Amino acid sequence: MTETTFSKLRSHLKSYCDQAVANREPIRVRRRSGEDVVLLAADEYDSLAETMHLLSSPRNAARLLAALAEARRGKGKPMTLEQLRAALHL
């Protein structure tokens, strides 16, 4: 993870924002007083927030992890989004 100081971030904000988006990598901003913060591309944040939401329910997390393990074992069959919608009657 790239790190910088608040002063450097302030002086080069556009460059750091472009870097966070281009590299899909968070940038830790160290501050003299106060906790560090992280600069992150918005879609990366959205993805993390959605993952946290999906895993926040122990029951849902167990179901998702079981499905992932099943897929890794080669069980199930790949489906297009349209096929999945039809199978779920959506």
pLDDT digits (tens, 9 = 90+) for 5-63: 999 999 999 999 999 999 999 999 999 999 999 999 999 999 999 999 999 999 999 99
Q: Which tokens belong to 34?
A: 């106060």
Give the chain's domain count. Answer: 2
CA 19 to chain centroid: 16
Q: Are residues 19 and 48 in the same domain?
A: no
Query: What pTM was computed for the model?
Result: 0.69
With respect to residue 62, please indicate whether it lies within any of the assigned structural domains: yes
Residue 20 in contact with residue 9, Cβ under 8 Å? Answer: no
Same structural domain, 52 and 31: no
pLDDT of residue 77: 82
Strand order in the sheet with 2-5: 2-5, 27-30, 37-39
Provide the residue range defining the domain that includes 33.
2-40
Residue 83 lies in a domain: no
Does a structural domain hold residue 15?
A: yes
